Amino acid sequence: MMQKKIKIGVIGAGHLGKYHINHLSKHASIDFVGFFDTNQKSAASVAKEFSAKNFEDMDDLISISDALHIVTPTNFHHEIAIMCLQNNKDIFIEKPITSNTTQATEIIELALSKKCIVQVGHIERFNPTINKLKDIVSEPHYIEIERLAPFQARGTEVPVVLDLMVHDIDLIMSMVDSNIVDIHASGAKMMSETVDLAHAHIKFGNGVVANLKSSRIAQNYVRKIRTYQNNLYTITDLMIPQIEVYGLEKTSTFSDKCIERAIDTASGAKNLFYEKIIPEKQDALLAEINDFIKSINSRNAPKVDGKQGLQALEIALDIENKIIGNGT
């Protein structure tokens, strides 16, 4: 017997919402019912662009759907998520899950009582370059992540820590199996009423150190990750994308195409192995959507559930509060 197609709708048809609408409208295994946006003039244009149904009433969309993608500005996430859950709908919420931990906890608890799925849109978990990096770096000692972007008014209702850095907070928490013991942070407002530039120095109980730098005031987009573990150093550029790997031992990480150089050092000659890895291309948003659909069908937790979204939010707010406490 064929499984009934899940009916999915999208709430929010702005910059990110259009990406969700585009993917869902083409997805063969679901029934994309349409979308709702408060800006009905813009919504009419989106409906025409993607040949999608534009709902003039959000309640009508929620009623007809089995699951909803919430792709609105962050300050609307909580209200909409609660409405969906009260109607027993599974939800995908773009990151960050909410603006504060009280709201996020309410969503998680209501979802639990209603037996609904909550997935949070930390898309980097589905990035094939990052997943390849995780295969290479199993026990990092040090992680450095730089995420810069040109200024855009969109998204400035939340600070850069919740807008950009939260991606990297979630990422390091998925790479380091230890609790955070200390955070130092600094940052500044420049173009908006919230923090636009932020730096966080994070120490874990197992000794791992992470440095995160995020800015939405840059000439170009920068997405770089540097890691170090015993005898292995990596430089990852997510914009290319590529991973450069340096090692003192020819482990399974390196292929026969790697470059080997003998280098004289103060402690004697050492062999340095180098390889540039170009990961296979994969649509991260499609992978993320597929994970949501899989969770709905299996009733198992998604790769990034509400609790993980809350964890990233708690750390992000701690960083933000430390920046504000420093007089920003």
User: Residue 326's pLDDT is what?
Assistant: 76
CA distances from 37 to 10, 18, 67 (A): 9, 11, 16
Mean of per-residue pLDDT scores for the chain: 96
Using DSSP's 3-state secondary structure scheme, residue 225 falls into: strand
- pLDDT tens by residue, 50-93: 999 999 999 999 999 999 999 999 999 999 999 999 999 999 99
* Residue 64: partners with Cβ closer than 8 Å, 6 or more residues away: 7, 9, 33
Mean pLDDT of 188-213: 96
The answer to whether 185 touches 200, Cβ cutoff 8 Å, is yes
Mean pLDDT of 256-263: 93
The full length of the chain comes to: 328
pLDDT tens, position by position, 273-326: 999 999 999 999 999 999 999 999 999 999 999 999 999 999 999 999 999 987
CA pair distance 13, 206, nearest whole angstrom: 43
CA-CA distance, 246 to 235, in Å (whole number)?
Answer: 9
User: Rounded to an integer, what distance in angstroms lies between the CA atom of residue 181 and that of residue 277?
Assistant: 34
What average pLDDT does this structure show over 112-136? Answer: 98
Domains annotated for the chain, with CATH where assigned, are: 6-123+284-303 (3.40.50.720)
d(CA 137, CA 203): 18
Burial category of 28 from C-beta neighbours within 10 Å (exposed 0-12, middle 13-18, buried 19 and up): exposed
**What would the two tokens of residue 212 be?**
């995160």
Q: Please, which residues have CB within 8 angstroms of residue 59's CB and are 6 or more apart in sequence?
A: 83
| 142, pLDDT greater than 90 | yes
| 110 vs 306: CA distance, rounded Å | 11
pLDDT value for 327: 60
